[in-house]
Amino acid sequence: RRKRMDKKIAELKGHYIVCGIGRVGSNVVHELNKTHRRFVVVESNKEVLDNWLEHHPHAFYLHDDAAEDEALLRAGVSHAAGVFAVTGDDSHNLMVALSVKLISPNVRVVVRLHDIRNANKARKAGADEIVSPDFTGGMRIASAMLRPHVVNFMDQMLHSDDGLRVEEVVVPAGFSEMPVGTLVPKSAEYLLMATHEAGRWIFNPDDAHVVKSGVVLVLMATPSGRAQLEQRLKA
């Protein structure tokens, strides 16, 4: 079974690697599942991994140390879209980030930190984004008091059965210029909210607004809606 799984993992492209499957990692995986994104879990603690696998028997996984180059290569880091370094140990997450960037500098790495004072070290290790559960939790609590209806809306969206999310899709290199209304026509599966281009945001762009390679489309979409748009951009 291990060899079959290694072969399937080797065939993955554009997937995500989740390093650490504790409370934070489990929530990361839940979101990846909900939005139909492929992933590989790397966990060094066999007991923790086995407990998680009881509820996710068909998941791709490695019982290994994600800070080791060999483990990252087996997880397909060279072809991955991103890596989540979300173990419970800040220093270990920094090592994961450093190892990833030494192998595949262009792979995006998000690092979990308990102590935000380690943020500068994480940046130097190659982290593209840093998340502190304490800071994020504090912001969530403040928002629940200051903007309760917005929080309720976001909660409803996150728990909806159709997997509705605020997503981003990048217009790929070589794509011909096109009016955004033609590229993103009206649909029940997605709603264009903004574009990000040349360092500036354009909210609710007019249908005649022309988009080209490198522009980021920010939209509210279901997984199928996001897939439809990504497929259109590949055509």
**DSSP code per residue over 93-146:** HHHHHHHHHHH-TTSEEEEE-SSGGGHHHHHHHT-SEEE-HHHHHHHHHHHHHH
pLDDT at 28: 97
**One domain for residues 23 and 116:** yes
24 and 115: one domain?
yes
- Residues 11 and 92 both lie in one domain: yes
User: Residue 167: its pLDDT value, please?
Assistant: 95
- Whole-structure pTM value: 0.87
77, part of any domain: yes
Specify the pLDDT at position 160: 82
**Do 61 and 98 belong together in one domain?**
yes
pLDDT value at 77 more than 90: yes
218, 193 Cβ separation under 8 angstroms: yes
Q: Classify residue 213: in a domain, yes or no.
A: yes
Average confidence score pLDDT of the chain:
95
Structure confidence at residue 100 (pLDDT): 98
71 domain residue, yes or no: yes
Of the candidates 136, 157, 185, which is a domain's last residue?
136
pLDDT over 80 at 1, yes or no: no
The model's pLDDT over 44-69, given as tens digits with 9 standing for 90+, comes to 999 999 999 999 999 999 999 999 99
Structural domain tally of the chain? 2
Same-domain status, 23 and 130: yes
- Give the CATH number of the domain where residue 87 resides: 3.40.50.720
Q: Are residues 7 and 87 in the same domain?
A: yes
- pLDDT tens across 98-139, in order? 999 999 999 999 999 999 899 999 999 999 999 998 889 999
The pLDDT of residue 134 is 87
Q: Summarize the confidence of residues 139-165 as an average pLDDT.
A: 92
Considering the domain boundaries, does residue 154 fall inside one?
no
> What are the C-alpha distances in Å from 168 to residues 45, 134, 161, 214, 225?
34, 26, 20, 12, 12
Question: Does any domain span residue 147?
Answer: no
Tell me the residue range of the domain where 181 lies: 165-234
171 occurs within a structural domain: yes
**Two structure tokens written together for 132:** 């502190």
More confident residue, 2 or 114: 114
pLDDT tens string 159-197: 888 889 999 999 999 999 999 999 999 999 999 999 999
The CATH code of the domain that includes 225 is 3.30.70.1450
